[in-house]
A and B are shown apart, each in its own frame.
Chain A
Amino acid sequence: MALLEINNVTKEFGAIRALSDVSLSIQPGEVVGLMGDNGAGKSTLVKIISGIYQPTSGALSFDGAHMQINSPGEARRLGIETVYQDLALADNLTAAENIFLGRELKYNFGPFRFLRHSAMNQRAAELFAELKSETRADDYVRQMSGGQRQAVAIARTRLADAKLILMDEPTAAISVRQVAEVLNLIHRLKDAGIAVILISHRMPDVFAVCERVIVMRRGTKVADKPIAQTSPEEVTALITGAKETA
Chain B
Amino acid sequence: MASENAAQGFSNVRRTRFWQKGFLASQSAYVLAALVVIIVVMSLLSPNFLTAGNISNITRNFSFIAIAALGMTLVIITGGIDLSVGSTMALSATATSLMMGALAGASVALFPGGALIISLAAGLGVAALIGLFNGVAIAKLKLSPFVTTLGTLSIVRGLAYVATYGRGTFPSGPDKDLFLLVTAGKLFDTVPIAFVYLLICALAMWLALNHTAWGRHVFAIGSNEAAGRLTGVNVDRVKIQVYVLCGLAAGFNGIIISGWLGSAPANLATAYELTIIAAAVIGGANLAGGVGGAAGAIIGCVLIEVIRNGLVLARVDPYWQQTLVGCIIVAAVLVDRLRSLRNG
Contacts and interface: CB of A to CB of B under 8 A. Distances in A.
Interface of A: 52, 71-73, 76, 82, 84, 86-93, 97-98, 101-104, 106, 112-115, 117, 129-130, 132, 134, 136, 139-140, 143, 156, 184
A130 to B, nearest CB: 5
Contacts of B231: 72, 88, 101-102, 156
Interface in B221-245: 222-224, 226-233
A82 B228 CA distance: 14
Contact of B223 (A82, A84, A91): A91
A92 B222 contact: yes
Given A101-B216, A102-B233, A114-B212, A132 B8 contact: yes
Contacts of B21: 140
18 contacts: A52-B230, A84-B230, A86-B226, A88-B231, A90-B227, A92-B219, A92-B291, A93-B223, A97-B216, A101-B217, A101-B220, A101-B231, A104-B213, A129-B6, A132-B2, A132-B5, A134-B13, A156-B231
A102 B232 contact: yes
Nearest to A97: B216
B7 interface: yes
A104 B216 contact: yes
B230 A113 contact: no
Nearest to A131: B2
B290 interface: yes
Given A89-B227, A91-B290, A101-B220, 9 more contacts: A92-B291, A93-B223, A102-B217, A104-B216, A115-B216, A129-B2, A129-B7, A132-B8, A140-B21
A62 B9 CA distance: 42
B224 A90 contact: yes
A46 B314 CA distance: 67
Interface of B is mostly: loop
B10 interface: yes
Given A72-B231, A84-B230, A113-B212, A90 B5 contact: no
B107 interface: no
A103 B232 contact: yes
Q: List the 5 closest pairs (A to B, CB-CB), nearest first.
A: A73-B232, A102-B232, A88-B227, A102-B231, A104-B213
Contacts of A129: 2, 6-7
B275 to A, nearest CB: 26
B216 A72 contact: no
Contacts of B5: 132
A111 B87 CA distance: 33
A168 to B, nearest CB: 11
A115 B220 contact: no
B323 interface: no
A114 B290 CA distance: 20
Contacts of B6: 129, 132
B211 A91 contact: no
B51 interface: no
A92 B211 contact: no
Contact of A115 (B16, B211, B290): B211
Contacts of A130: 2
B223 A92 contact: yes
A92 B290 contact: yes
B285 to A, nearest CB: 12
Nearest to B286: A92
Given A73-B232, A130-B2, A106 B213 contact: yes
Contacts of B16: 139, 143
Given A72-B229, A132-B6, A90 B223 contact: yes
Contacts of B229: 72
B220 to A, nearest CB: 4
B10 A89 contact: no
